[in-house]
Amino acid sequence: MPELPEVETIRRTLQERVLNLPILATKVLYPRLLQNCTELELAQALYGRAFKQIDRRGKYLIFHLDSEDRVVFHLRMTGKLVAVPWSFPMEKHTSLQVILDRNLELRLVDQRKFATMHLLQGPGYGMIKGLATMGEEPLSDEFTPDYLLAQCRGRKAPIKSVILDQRRIGGLGNIYADESLYRARIFPGRPAGSLTPKEIHRLHASIQAVIQEGIAYRGTTFRDYVDGDGRVGGFQERLQVYGREGQACLACGESIHRIRIAGRSSSYCPNCQI
């Protein structure tokens, strides 16, 4: 699933391509993509308009039109949002086309068909509960060591589960959680409430550093993720534990282990993370 660095990279690349171009038509090839509108309502809201700005909140992309309306995408497991010429061959799993002026169109391609799209025509986030309840983002001013400490205080749940909870930290996913915990030298199954203030500060710094590096290297590509131009990311070359089960820890040489915590795969070094 695209996480914060991947979604931010998609936002940046698309913002350079699709803003201020008149929308000529929309084609919905997978109607279940639409969560709160019909194909006709979407077409009426978009026709003749243009995208003026693209924001990101957590793992959501928010396209602002030159009206009061917004289009919100969540790419889920395998969604790809790319800007391509009209003549570009149609991929098999294309769910949506937004046809723009100047021989360009925005396409949502989604093999697993879990991606969602909402049309917001008023203030607030409507029925998008994940946006309405989202916690602070790792690079926001509000995400401080004290904020992280408050999310962990008194909790018996594993620290991995707590930092993956989007109501506590917006945008952090499995890859960057594993990498953050490794850098902070914290076992992912530790009860969150057992972390000391020193460990909280270390984890806070690690989360911010990993997210910043993920963005700098344009995200992590294992299989499906590409940016808005269709290019793969580069952070997979810098991963230290995620996807490295059985390989040597880059710090101590111990074999990387993988366990399941609250239904999620977790990779860690049994020597470095205690």
pLDDT confidence of residue 78: 95
Residue 3 appears among annotated catalytic residues: yes
Residue 101's contacts (CB-CB under 8 Å, 6 or more residues apart) are 21, 22, 23, 24
- Identify whether the C-beta of residue 238 lies closer than 8 Å to the C-beta of residue 260: no
- Token pair belonging to 217: 């290297």
Q: How far apart are CA 8 and CA 179, in angstroms?
A: 18
Q: How far apart are CA 196 and CA 194, in angstroms?
A: 6
Of 2, 5, 138, 188, which residue is the catalytic one? 2
pLDDT confidence of residue 274: 83
Radius of gyration of the chain (CA): 20
Low-confidence ranges of the chain (pLDDT < 50): none
- Identify whether the C-beta of residue 250 lies closer than 8 Å to the C-beta of residue 265: no
Count of beta carbons in the 10 Å neighbourhood of residue 196: 9
Pick the CATH number of 145-268 from 1.10.150.20, 3.40.50.2300, 1.10.8.50, 3.10.310.30: 1.10.8.50
Of 3, 8, 137, 179, which residue is the catalytic one? 3
- Domain boundaries, given as residue ranges, for the chain: 4-132, 145-268
N- to C-terminal Cα separation, the chain: 28
- Side-chain-side CA neighbours of residue 157 (13 Å): 13
Of 11, 56, 59, 160, which residue is the catalytic one? 59
pLDDT confidence of residue 262: 84
Pick the CATH number of 4-132 from 3.40.50.620, 3.40.190.10, 3.20.190.10, 3.40.109.10: 3.20.190.10
Of 17, 49, 185, 264, which residue is the catalytic one? 264
> Which alpha helices (H) appear in the chain, and where do they start and end?
4-18, 39-46, 129-132, 145-152, 159-164, 174-183, 197-216
3-state secondary structure of 4: helix
Residue 145 appears among annotated catalytic residues: no
